[in-house]
Amino acid sequence: MTSERPGELVLVRHGETEWSKSGQHTGRTDIPLTENGIEQAERAGRYLADRTFALALSSPLQRARDTAELVGVDPELDEDLYEWDYGAYEGLTTPQIKVERHGPWDLWTDGVPAGDTPGENAAEVRVRVERVLDRVRPVLAEGDDAIVVAHGHVLRALGAAWIRLAPQDGAVLKLGTATVSSLGYEHGRPVIDSWNVTPRD
């Protein structure tokens, strides 16, 4: 049975890490939250304290799992929520990548070369986040809420997929560490209810 009032999908980006602080691309490297990142995640938990979720999903990486725990949810780990695979650009900042390429670079349109991992482009990440949304939509249709805890670029790709933008258009959806966003419906149309909200005490 479908509810007359569908639920909402809440997105939480993990808290700060040393690499997010320095601007290094952190795909599959599994690094912990900083002390500040822990505090950020705790604030997100207080912000969401009155919410209940019928489905909770998280990236398997430590920074997302720890953020989910601090937010107060016990998520199912979903490999489709791994961060973008940055290939040869893992650990590099955007200025470093531009120097290496001797020119401009945009993750969303240029992708990455293979390195220790194969790397991904925006279309490949889109396939993954569409599978996540396929899991979430039936829950929302019943009028229940869901929460996803993951990483900056993969959540931006998910937001773009939700509102039916092209894969590369996730570039316009800025997302800070430990921010909270929500996706819902208006007149049956997928919409962004809120985006990149930084919880404050």
Per-residue pLDDT of 105-128, as tens digits, reads: 999 999 999 999 999 999 999 999
Active site residues: 14, 83
Helix ranges restricted to H, 57-164? 62-71, 94-101, 107-110, 122-141, 152-162
Known binding-site residue numbers: 26-27, 63, 83-86
Q: What is the DSSP letter of 171?
A: G
Known binding-site residue numbers for substrate: 26-27, 63, 83-86
Domain count across the chain: 1
Mean pLDDT of 158-164: 98
57 in a structural domain: yes
Q: Cα(131)–Cα(192) distance, rounded to whole angstroms?
A: 19
Are the C-beta atoms of 126 and 55 separated by less than 8 Å?
no
pLDDT in tens, 33-63: 999 999 999 999 999 999 999 999 999 999 9
110 in a structural domain: no
Are the C-beta atoms of 24 and 195 separated by less than 8 Å?
no
CATH number at 133 reads: 3.40.50.1240
Q: What is the pLDDT of residue 62?
A: 98
Return the closest-CA partner of residue 13 out of 120, 142, 156, 135. Answer: 156
103 in a structural domain: no
107 in a structural domain: no
152: pLDDT strictly greater than 70: yes
Q: With cut-offs at 50, 70 and 90, classify the pLDDT of residue 4.
A: confident
47 in a structural domain: yes
Q: With cut-offs at 50, 70 and 90, classify the pLDDT of residue 157.
A: very high
Range of the domain at 149: 9-23+35-83+121-197
106 in a structural domain: no
75 in a structural domain: yes
76: pLDDT strictly greater than 90: yes
62 in a structural domain: yes
